[in-house]
Amino acid sequence: MLNMLIREACIESLEQALAAERQGADRVELCSRLEVGGLTPGIELVQKVLSAVKIPVMLMVRCRAGNFCYNPAELDEMLHQIATFKNLNNPQLAGFVTGALTPDRAVDVPAMNKLAEEAAPHPVTFHKAIDECSDPVHATEVLKTIPGATRILSSGGASTALEGTEMLKSMIKAAGEDLIIIAAGKVTNENLEKVHNAIGAREYHGRLIVGKLD
């Protein structure tokens, strides 16, 4: 059963990308600065990773650390980052991982529409900003209306996927066939079976999802 699941490894270097592929990851999410939750990676690193691996690569687009409420200049910066990566025209680029919230902790629909439109035809994953939402299930319903949004990365509003099990199951139900919920939060190669038995997602994400990469 576990062989049918998608395992997405979170990485921040070429060496980790190659190790993730070698150790059986189905996809990678490339970020910089994972110590602050992940920011947009540099163009040189992106080019190296896209050229080196054969598995799909998702690129984080987040212009700064901190909250997920972006002013117009910050949004423009992220739109420019997406355009720059798209212009590489590399077939390994599988999509973008991004997210924007309003000050009252709801999905920033206008911002997400702009980001998803810029990303097209590549899909967008709404990242763990959703765990900051006051109502992640309602946020899931809202994201179903964003053209190009295909996945949500979440730990169910908890610090780990297991602690967020009930919320994740509610989000999976709300997503239906329109969105894929990627369960995250301390999911490793050692506990994946336990996590999957509890949550029943189709896709899982983690820095150790296929074991240690360094």
Question: In CATH, what number is assigned to the domain containing residue 181?
Answer: 3.20.20.380
Cα separation, 49 vs 134, in Å, equals 36
Residues 51-108 have pLDDT tens digits of 999 999 999 999 999 999 999 999 999 999 999 999 999 999 999 999 999 999 999 9
Q: At 48, is the secondary structure helix, strand, or coil?
A: helix
On whether the CB atoms of residues 187 and 209 are closer than 8 A, the answer is yes
Q: At 70, is the secondary structure helix, strand, or coil?
A: coil
Cα separation, 62 vs 40, in Å, equals 5
Considering the domain boundaries, does residue 211 fall inside one?
no
Considering the domain boundaries, does residue 214 fall inside one?
no
Distance of CA 90 to the CA centre of its chain: 19
Residues 196-207 have pLDDT tens digits of 999 999 999 999
Considering the domain boundaries, does residue 103 fall inside one?
yes
96 to 8, 84, 111, 192, 194: CA distances (angstroms): 13, 12, 14, 24, 28
Q: Is 121 exposed, middle or buried (0-12, 13-18, 19+ CB in 10 A)?
A: exposed
pTM above 0.75, yes or no: yes
On whether the CB atoms of residues 29 and 184 are closer than 8 A, the answer is no
Number of domains present in the structure of the chain = 1
Domain that holds residue 189: 2-206
Considering the domain boundaries, does residue 98 fall inside one?
yes
Considering the domain boundaries, does residue 173 fall inside one?
yes
Considering the domain boundaries, does residue 15 fall inside one?
yes
CA angle 8, 11, 12 (to 5 degrees): 160
3-state helix, strand, coil in the chain (%, to 5): 40, 20, 40
Considering the domain boundaries, does residue 24 fall inside one?
yes
What is residue 1's predicted lDDT score, i.e. its pLDDT?
Answer: 61
Residues 21-39 have pLDDT tens digits of 999 999 999 999 999 999 9
